[in-house]
Amino acid sequence: MTLEQSDLFPRLRAAAGEDWTRYTDHEFVRALTRGDLAEASFRHYLQQDYVFLKHFARAWALAAFKADNLADMRAATEVLDGLLNHEMALHVDLCRRWGIEAEALERTPEARANMAYTRYVIERGLAGDLLELLVALAPCVIGYAEIGAARHAEAGAALADHPYREWLETYAGDEFQGLAGSVAAQMDRLAERHMAPTRFPELAATFTAATRLEIGFWDMGLQQTL
């Protein structure tokens, strides 16, 4: 399934309104696409993102735990595998090329914005069901796919000599786009089974809160705060 064919995700995105635009069109993303994002901001972001991805892997492990059937368990562990062995492996390589060694990554002090976001998502998953958890994870997975595809296309010919090319290529790439499509499809399947119409506002509130925490993550990167 492509993102355009999904049903729940576009409804959640529309319900997030301006917050979705503030996330996907954040100054961090614009500067990165132009190629003039301060290198120190990118390094700070990369290092924090390593910590973020580890907590997100925990959240996907929780998704496997929350699943009540084999298909949902497999879907969660496929994402977990992709995260640990693809996205994080790329991330460690990218960090090394940016002068941040693996040992330094492990010693990264966690920024408050990072803690707030990742623990919020895990708490939603602990308190709610699998659908609630996937909705909390959606701005991360589907948001980055949307940002990656749009910004990679926008950078266009400038990509040949672009300082942030690898980042743009990772999130615009088939692997990540396919992952976002699968998560959107899984949310639709779960919504069909578990979502009474009265539940939508509660799910939209979770999605919007996670979107706002993504905005806080970009702010943290741009301002290099802890």
Ligand X SMILES: Cc1ncc(CN)c(N)n1
Residue ranges in contact with ligand X by CB under 6 A: 49, 52-53, 140, 144, 214, 217
Which residue is listed with tokens 């990772």? 170
Q: Which is nearer to ligand X, 130 or 148 (CB)?
A: 148
Q: Which is nearer to ligand X, 69 or 223 (CB)?
A: 223
Contact 29, 93 (CB under 8 A): no
Query: Which residue among 87, 132, 146, 214 is the active-site one?
Result: 214
User: Smallest gap, in angstroms, from Cβ of residue 140 to ligand X?
Assistant: 4
User: Smallest gap, in angstroms, from Cβ of residue 136 to ligand X?
Assistant: 12
Q: Examine the residue annotation and report whether 214 is marked as an active-site residue of this protein.
A: yes
Q: Which is nearer to ligand X, 80 or 140 (CB)?
A: 140
Query: Which residue among 140, 146, 166, 192 is the active-site one?
Result: 140
Quote the tokens at residue 8.
């729940």
List strand residue ranges (DSSP E) for the chain, in order.
Answer: none
User: Smallest gap, in angstroms, from Cβ of residue 67 to ligand X?
Assistant: 20
Among 203, 204, 154, 179, CA closest to 83: 179
Q: Examine the residue annotation and report whether 95 is marked as an active-site residue of this protein.
A: no
Q: Which is nearer to ligand X, 19 or 214 (CB)?
A: 214
Query: What is the sign, positive or negative, of the torsion defined by CA atoms of 105, 147, 223, 113?
Result: negative
| Residue 40 burial by Cβ neighbours in a 10 Å radius (0-12, 13-18, 19+) | exposed
Q: Which is nearer to ligand X, 8 or 23 (CB)?
A: 23
Among 221, 176, 188, 195, CA closest to 29: 221
As a whole number of angstroms, the distance between CA 92 and CA 117 comes to 21
- Long-range contacts: 100-106, Cβ < 8 Å, 24+? 100/43, 100/46, 100/47, 104/47, 105/47, 105/50
User: Smallest gap, in angstroms, from Cβ of residue 100 to ligand X?
Assistant: 15
User: Smallest gap, in angstroms, from Cβ of residue 192 to ligand X?
Assistant: 26
- Catalytic positions: 140, 214
